[in-house]
Structure 1
Amino acid sequence: MMTSLLAATLLSTTLTAPPSVLAADVRLAWTTDGKVRISWSETSAAPNTVSLERDGADDLLLGSPSAAQLNELVLEPAALEPSTAGTSAARIVVSEPSGDIARSAYFDRYQRDRVVPRISYLANGDLAWSVPPDQVTDTTPNDPLDSAKPTTYGLRLMSGEQPWAYDRCRIEYTTPSTAPNGVLSKQRAMEIRTLAYNEWGTAELDWRLIGSSSVALNASSTSPYGATTTLTGKVGARAIYENPKPPGDVPPICFDADGGVRANTAITLQARNSATGPWYAVGPGKTDAAGNYKFSLRTPGTREYRVTVGGTSSMQPATSPARTVRSSTRVVSARFIQPAVKVGTQPQAYLWVDPAGTQKAALQFKNASGAWQGLTSKTLYAGRGLVAFPWNIRGTFQFRWWIPGSTTPTGLRVEPAYSGVFSLTVS
């Protein structure tokens, strides 16, 4: 009888299920300050274990609240280990010592993976950046931790530019935008990080160093019309250098330093016809191994010149300062047909200039006081003219032509000029 009673008691104990301590659901929500709140209900107080159950990975222990604590955990999003795999679903598992388990709905912890942005440059040298659209599909739509806020994008910029703390890195952030692109109006060497922001935090999509360029341009201020003008210069580079851990546990040190030259690099010579006119290309060129370049061209009239170098994914473009080369009328020939004549013979003064227009040139002579004095004038035909004049004074005299400025058929200004001095002897 005692044996039967004991057996019945043991059987009853074996078949009785443990009491249900946890309610069926685990609730997930965002707090107002961007943290994840995990909460659950219990029929009686018990210590709990809270874990993250993930596809393809071991469960991650998130916390072990005691029976005396609230039935919730509030965690930073990073504690749930955000994933760049769009198909990675997870859920929260809450358990207690008796073996009772409750689970949340599945949710994603997606942050965008690294991607190479497209870098280009606008006509004014501003840097334009963009990242391709995100092709990942949400495999847990409308999950408890989905946010109505869209992903935004921006840049983190680091440079050694002053005036901030001396020799410290200057850190700036562009304003985040839902557009995965933007324009950066910075012309200096810097470190650029492309960032994507969502409810799970900040993802770094790309990191790169971008140097700055400089273009020097040397040119003579004047050149005769049609003569060869030579423009020279050099294309240099600057780079940002960083010492991330200087001695003494002080902030990183950054400085903008000489980055060498842009060797064997394509450049473009540009010109414009006036200080307010549009720039246009004159011709391409290329730097040598030392970053130097040289352009030689026929002077077509007065123009402003500049040299541009394009940008790359690691180097910004640059434009040289403008240099004006004034074109003066070129005197091909200025002389007397007969430099020695007898009294009573009219001398004939000849002039040939370029550009070959219809300028009205003035013939001058040096008088007895040593001053230049006007004598006569001649309207040229195709840039040439011959004028005869009476001269009845014996001796040797100096003459010159003054040629007014003109405009070429292409609209370029040619400055006025004096011819060289030529002599007449009258006996």
Structure 2
Amino acid sequence: MMTSLLATTLLSTALTTPAPPSVLAADVQLAWTTDGKVRISWNETSPAPNTVVLERPGAEDLLLASPAATEPNTVVLAPDKLEPWGSTTDRARIVVSEPSGDVARSADFDRYRRAAAQAHISYRPNGDLAWSVPPDPVVDSTPNDPLDVAAPTTYGLRLMTGEQPWTYDRCRIEYTARTTALSGVITKQRPMEVIFLAWNEWGAAQLDWRLVSSSVVTLNAPASTPYGATATLTGKVATRRIFENPAPPNGAPPICLDEESGTRPNTTVVLQARDSATGPWYVVGSGKTDAAGNYKFPLRNPGAREYRTTVAGTTGTSPLQPGTSPARTVRASTRVVSAKFIQPAVTVGTRPQAYLWVDPAGTQQAALQFRNSAGAWQGLTYKTLYAGRGLVAFAWNVRGTFQFRWWIPGSTTSTRLPVDAVYSGPFTLKVS
């Protein structure tokens, strides 16, 4: 009977004793601060120590904070502390608990940062690099969650170059302006490390990475050749790359290297020309580099022109920018085909006949000169050429051996290219 009464009394006490009051009075609230951090807040009916965790399906809870009972019911964290993820399907929530087992949860939210995406690059005619990334295919699986921001994702690039100014011997780092566009243009034509980035409220996500090398094209050319003669243009195609060694041996400071990194064998080289310093470039021919990256263009000199060579860029995982050589001017001088006397030995009283044949074959007015007794060249007579040829007879009544030469003025070819004036080589007349 005593036992039964005791049991009844204990049961009655258990049923009538009120449960302890809830300490956490409301769900957890989430918001962004003005400086881009996440504010986590909750209310309590009485002070208690709390544990704040990030709860993620399929993963262990991530401890974020353990504020004491005397601390505010607010935690402010940088976004990366919540481990932003590349998928909106990865839902998460904040859970706040206290020692008695009372728990409060936030609404589900995503921590989406765009996942990797393959960038596309191409080159404009002037050599600038155009880039683009595909649209984001992901649809928000937690629309209007407490941490959603009504702002579009922006895109831009991080560029590392050997361009001055450096920072403590490290390569120069700069960022292009952010844009909501999925494309842009890089006007730098030099070796670069390019990182494609996307920004949203959760920070920057790296979409793609490229090490862009530049093409180095040299061009050697003669300053002038006779009109119609072979002018051989030569050069070499190589590459340059950017490289940073952040931790050289022996405690040396970081090193930024913008260096030549090899030749480009079997590469198509296009030879271009223009007729004046302001004229348009046009293609003259093309060829291939040899195993050492060298190329050669022999061509008939058609008159003074400016030349340059170009190579196209390549795309892919290790792109090469297009390259253009410095311009080189190759002038042309009038070609003397023949300058002589019809009879190089005559007697006094015979009129010598001086002959000239030049190319371009125009109507130039050539001047015949002789070397006088003082050793200086002196003008004697003129002859207007016909189709580049002319013959002139003159009186010469002094015995001896004498040297003559022609001066031929500059002219313009049928294609309006200039050809420079020239002196013929000396030729001899013997009078007896």
TM-score by length of structure 2 reads 0.88
Tell me if 1:227 matches 2:232: no
Offset of residue 327 of structure 1: 0.4
Provide, for residues 246-279 of structure 1, a one-character-per-residue CA deviation record: whole Å limited to 9, x for no partner. 3576763322333132222222222221222222
Equivalent AA in structure 1 for residue 378 of structure 2: Q
Q: Match of 2:8, SS? A: helix
Provide, for residues 349-368 of structure 1, a one-character-per-residue CA deviation record: whole Å limited to 9, x for no partner. 32221112222222222233
**Contact in 1 for aligned 2:168/2:253 (Cα 8 Å):** no
Whole-Å Cα distance in 2 between the matches of residues 361 and 11 of structure 1? 132
Matches within 5 A, 1:311-330: 311-313=313-315, 314-330=319-335
Q: Which residue of 2 aligns with 1:269?
A: 271
Q: Match of 1:409, SS? A: coil
Matches within 5 A, 1:296-375: 296-313=298-315, 314-375=319-380
Provide, for residues 36-56 of structure 1, a one-character-per-residue CA deviation record: whole Å limited to 9, x for no partner. 001122333333333323344
**Contact in 2 for aligned 1:167/1:255 (Cα 8 Å):** no
Match among 11, 35, 40 for residue 7 of structure 1: 11
Q: Which residue of 1 aligns with 2:394?
A: 389
Offset of residue 159 of structure 1: 3.8
Q: Which residue of 2 aligns with 1:409?
A: 414
Whole-Å Cα distance in 2 between the matches of residues 166 and 123 of structure 1? 36
Q: Please state which structure has a larger fraction of its residues in strand.
A: 1
Offset of residue 184 of structure 1: 3.1
Q: Match of 1:79, SS? A: helix
Q: Which residue of 2 aligns with 1:256?
A: 258
Match among 375, 380, 384 for residue 379 of structure 1: 384
Equivalent AA in structure 2 for residue 70 of structure 1: P
Distance 1:163 1:89, change over 3 A: closer
Provide, for residues 16-53 of structure 1, a one-character-per-residue CA deviation record: whole Å limited to 9, x for no partner. 76644334432111111211001122333333333323
Whole-Å Cα distance in 1 between the matches of residues 393 and 134 of structure 2? 79
Structure 2: runs of 5+ lacking an equivalent:
none
Equivalent AA in structure 2 for residue 183 of structure 1: V
Q: Match of 1:217, SS? A: coil
Structure 1: runs of 5+ lacking an equivalent:
none
Offset of residue 289 of structure 1: 1.5
Distance 1:35 1:166, change over 3 A: closer
TM-score by length of structure 1 reads 0.89
Q: Match of 2:240, SS? A: strand
Q: Match of 2:145, SS? A: coil
Equivalent AA in structure 1 for residue 345 of structure 2: A
Distance 1:424 1:246, change over 3 A: closer
Equivalent AA in structure 2 for residue 177 of structure 1: T
Q: Which residue of 2 aligns with 1:179?
A: 181
Quick one: percent identity of the two aligned structures? 71
Whole-Å Cα distance in 2 between the matches of residues 126 and 338 of structure 1? 65
Q: Which residue of 1 aligns with 2:87?
A: 85
**Contact in 2 for aligned 1:151/1:196 (Cα 8 Å):** yes
Moved more, 256-265 or 165-174: 165-174
Q: Match of 2:219, SS? A: strand
Matches within 5 A, 1:182-193: 182-193=184-195
Q: Which residue of 1 aligns with 2:205?
A: 203
